[in-house]
């Protein structure tokens, strides 16, 4: 991995592992907190909106433009997104998997220098706002925006009339300016969360890293499991992914990072059909060169190589045999690539 990318990955993992970034500099959750912020922000603010799933290179270019324009005007830079994401609200089970959790996303936004992150619940009220109502009630009345930076494909409002041209007209009415940023491309193709998901599903982790600017990872706090791995001879550090729909499933060679050190490991992400057949995904990792208690610790699991798809086995003995084979494959991978 090139030194530049290694540095970027190190920065992102540091953000993932921190417990402090959720409230620094300022995290606003909900419309009431937003209005309180707007009333304090007498000189206004600079703003951008979007999903920011994965905070990839395209998003990073938008953040850079936001910070530059905000600093030029002496304004705090603000990023707003919605939870659930609008496509999750409308599509439910058919919505695409997320690249980043809420915590990961907020941490990365702060790491890129944003002053304020706003998360609003996407609900019946919000989905019912027209573009004009959205501008007046949220951007002007609640936030007192003075400058708005947009990606060139952004649309909003239940009438879908919210675009750059509409905002430029609204800005003249309400006293704010707008600017857009061009779509970011790599190798002649648009950088997007959809493209990154596709690369991850194809086991093309290095290519996905190029679009993200960091290596793809999942993070969380280690929980107590059913101790089956320990009984079978390979204790695991387990992360409960909640309702999160993951872009990848199967068995992988991974790095597990905590306390600033990365350990080679083998991981299974999925629903464990042999054990529970649950519909909720779980990320289980077995560290190859570590013995100790990780319960309650925050870890980052960085995906390096897919070993196989998730399978159901007829017995625990068959499962145990396969897991030992998976561990050998992971060891072989790391011997070749480290």
pLDDT in the model for residue 206: 95
Mean pLDDT of 20-47: 85
Q: Is the pLDDT of residue 23 over 50?
A: no
Q: Is the pLDDT of residue 1 over 90?
A: no
> 191: left (phi > 0), else alpha (psi -120 to 50), else beta?
beta
Q: What is the 3-state secondary structure (H, E, C) of the chain?
A: CCHHHHHHHHHHHHHHHCCCHHHCCEEEECHHHHHHHHHHCCCCEEEEECCCCCCCHHHHHHHHHHHHHHHHHCCCEEEEEEECCHHHHHHHHHCCCCCCCHHHHHHHHHHCCCCEEEEEECCHHHHCCCHHHHHHHHHHHHCCEEEEEEECCCCECCCCCECHHHHHHHHHHHCCEEEEECCCEECCEECCHHHHHHHHHCCCHHHHHHHHCCCCEEEEEEECCCCHHHHHCCCCEEEECCCCCCCCCEEEEEEEEECCEEEEEEEEEECCCCCCCCCCCEEEEEECCCCCCCCCCEEEEEEEEEEECCCCCCCHHHHHHHHHHHHHHHHHHHHHHC
CA distance 89 to 95: 8
CA distance 97 to 193: 10
pLDDT in the model for residue 252: 97
pLDDT in the model for residue 15: 54
pLDDT in the model for residue 183: 87
Q: Is the pLDDT of residue 6 over 70?
A: no
| Lowest-confidence region among 144-148, 199-203, 277-281, 294-298 | 277-281
Q: Is the pLDDT of residue 296 over 80?
A: yes
Band of pLDDT at residue 281, cut at 50, 70 and 90: confident
pLDDT one-digit tens code per residue, 166-197: 999 999 999 999 999 988 999 889 999 999 99
Band of pLDDT at residue 24, cut at 50, 70 and 90: low
CATH 2.40.30.30 fits 216-337, yes or no: yes
pLDDT one-digit tens code per residue, 125-147: 999 999 999 999 999 999 999 99
Band of pLDDT at residue 3, cut at 50, 70 and 90: very low
What are the CA-CA distances from residue 196 to residues 5, 60, 174, 210, 285 (Å)? Answer: 16, 15, 38, 9, 23
**Percentage of residues of the chain with pLDDT beyond 70:** 88
- Every domain of the chain and the residues it spans: 3-186, 216-337
pLDDT in the model for residue 159: 77
C-beta atoms surrounding 51 within 10 Å = 18
CA distance 225 to 295: 10
pLDDT in the model for residue 236: 87
pLDDT one-digit tens code per residue, 62-112: 999 999 999 999 999 999 999 998 888 888 778 889 999 999 999 999 999
pLDDT in the model for residue 228: 58
Pair 70, 41: CB distance under 8 Å: no
Mean pLDDT of 38-43: 91
Pair 233, 319: CB distance under 8 Å: no
Task: Answer yes or no: pTM beyond 0.75.
Answer: yes
Half-sphere exposure of 68 (CA within 13 A, CB side): 10
The residue that leads in pLDDT, 232 or 284, is: 284
Task: Name the CATH topology of 3-186.
Answer: Rossmann fold (3.40.50)
Q: Which two tokens stand for residue 1?
A: 């991995």
Cα-Cα end-to-end distance for the chain = 10
What are the CA-CA distances from residue 265 to residues 7, 256, 302, 307 (Å)? Answer: 21, 6, 10, 12
Mean pLDDT of 311-338: 88
Pair 191, 211: CB distance under 8 Å: yes
pLDDT in the model for residue 92: 74
pLDDT in the model for residue 74: 96
Mean pLDDT of 217-241: 79
Q: Is the pLDDT of residue 48 over 90?
A: yes
**Percentage of residues of the chain with pLDDT beyond 90:** 65
């Amino acid at each position: 991995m090139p030194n530049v990318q290694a540095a970027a990955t190190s920065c992102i993992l540091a953000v993932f592992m921190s417990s402090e970034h959720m409230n620094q500099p300022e995290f606003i959750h909900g419309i009431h907190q937003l209005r309180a912020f707007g009333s304090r922000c007498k000189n206004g603010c600079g703003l951008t909106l979007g999903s920011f799933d994965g905070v990839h290179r395209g998003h990073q270019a938008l953040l850079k433009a936001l910070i530059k324009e905000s600093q030029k005007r002496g304004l705090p830079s603000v990023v707003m997104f919605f939870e659930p994401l609008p496509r999750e609200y409308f599509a439910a089970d058919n919505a695409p998997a997320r690249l980043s959790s809420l915590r990961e996303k907020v941490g990365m936004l702060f790491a890129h220098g944003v002053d304020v992150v706003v998360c609003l619940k996407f609900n019946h009220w919000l989905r019912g706002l027209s573009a004009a109502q959205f501008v007046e009630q949220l951007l002007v009345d609640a936030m007192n925006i003075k400058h708005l930076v947009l990606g060139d494909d952004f649309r909003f409002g239940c009438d879908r009339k919210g675009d750059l041209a509409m905002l430029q007209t609204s800005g003249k009415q309400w006293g704010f300016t707008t600017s857009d940023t061009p779509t970011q491309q790599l190798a002649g193709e648009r950088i997007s969360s959809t493209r990154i998901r596709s690369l991850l599903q194809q086991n093309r982790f290095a290519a996905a890293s190029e679009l993200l600017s960091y290596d793809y990872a999942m993070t969380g706090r280690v929980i107590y499991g059913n101790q089956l791995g320990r009984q079978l001879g390979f204790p695991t550090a387990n992360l409960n992914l909640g309702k999160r729909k993951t872009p990848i499933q199967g068995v992988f060679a991974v790095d597990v990072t905590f306390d600033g050190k990365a350990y080679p490991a083998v991981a299974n992400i999925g629903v464990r059909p042999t054990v529970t057949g649950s519909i909720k995904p779980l990320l289980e990792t077995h560290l190859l060169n570590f013995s100790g208690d990780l319960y309650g610790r925050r870890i980052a699991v960085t995906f390096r190589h897919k070993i196989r798809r998730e399978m159901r086995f007829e017995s625990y003995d068959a499962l145990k045999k396969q897991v030992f084979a998976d561990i050998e494959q992971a060891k072989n991978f790391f011997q070749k690539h480290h």
